[in-house]
A and B are shown apart, each in its own frame.
Chain A
Amino acid sequence: MDDIKLLEAVELYISGQMSPDDRVYFEQLRKTNPEIDQLVVEHTFFLQQMNRFDETKAFKSLLNDTHTHLAETGAIASPTVKGKAKVIQLYNRYKRTAAIAASIAGITALTMSSLIWYMSPGKQQKNELEYLSGQLKDIKDQTIIQKQEINSIKQNIATPVINYTTGGTAFLINAKGLVVTNAHVIKDARNIVVQNNEGKDLKVKVIYNDIARDVAILKIEDTAFKAPTALPYAIKKTEPEVAETVYTLGFPRNDMVYGEGYMAAKTGFNGDTLTCQIAIAANPGNSGGPIFNRNGEVIGILSAKQVSAEGAVFATQSKYIHQAIAALQSDTGYKKVKLPTSSSIKSLDRTQQVKKISEFIYMVKVN
């Protein structure tokens, strides 16, 4: 108890909040007692270290934000910018050329139509033509009426509501809408959707499914999907280290749930080398969720838990995501798929990391 009071006094003294009388007394004490003097020196140094740590951390995060912001607006040349910004750059570059081309096209079109008008048959055929177009108009009217009827019939038949029965978690692995989950999550599925953090269902297509490694890649094919400019996290190629602290985000229930743990072993159940063991709290629905290390890099996909052992959870190592993408690239349609290789949330604290990540984690709904 005495120690606590002493420390409190030291802190008041350092911060200059001590009353003048106490201060005189304390300074006297400091002169006569070398231990207290030592404590003051040491504590001043320590508080300085803590403040500097906080300051540097905040500044690092500010630098990262600035980099992302400048890269997105195109103020600095950074190859991480892709998609939209590039299109705008191209547009700006070729604006003049495009304007010239457009006016040439316009002039040509005008010339051509006037030529056609000039060359076309004379007035004597005009009546016949009008008659024909009149007939066409009748057919057109009829079509409209038929369309309206079909529509009214359509409205009477209610679209069947799909009841999704099972689910899991998935996360985005590139900005173009590829998400990864476990193969067992989508096993025997007739309908699959992913739900984003606004609660909206997005249609997906299965484009890769590897049951042996338990990896499936889906593509979001929904007009409501807003492609991000870049992902904040990276997908690691190398093996995770034992004892690394890790965390996961998933949907064991309707809201996103955070879980924390550590890497327990480099191999999985019964020494399986495809997976690794993690000590973390997980429940049905967590399957397919990403496992992040403290730098905010994905090191695995949460896939199973051992029933007979408490807290033994297994994850597919993230290098198999890279392998899956490599396999996918040999398929013609997805040659240019690239996975994010650098994490922009490295220096942020956990809460900030989770905030930035959460919009890229989806709930998978299957029936």
Chain B
Amino acid sequence: MRYMMLIYSQEDEKAPTEAVAEVAEAHRQLMTETRLRGVFRAADPLQRSSTATTVRSENGKVLLTDGPYAETKEQLAGYYILECRDLDEAIAWAARIPTACLGGSGCVEVRPLRDMAESMHDG
């Protein structure tokens, strides 16, 4: 089953370059390992949430808002999609995803992807 790991992180602008480099290195290692194990499907980092635009369609009108939808401390900063046997395996990988993208603390939300063929039957 494919799981999406959504990385939420605090956007600390004063992160020292070594710390940022360390996080990047940890991601590179994790991607290499998940590729070797045949688990890796996709992963990307996002630009800062200050580059976000929220789009909402209401009555045929498109409304735009500057910034992300939710005003929380931790912002979506990147994602992985990994093919795992079960939730335990997904949790084990998620626990190894660095979340301190810019130096601040963070967390990973693990969500199974819906199989479209299956969900057609589920309704």
Genuine A/B complex: no
Using CB atoms and an 8 Å cutoff, list the residues of chain B in contact with chain A: none
Binding site for B on A (CB under 8 A): none
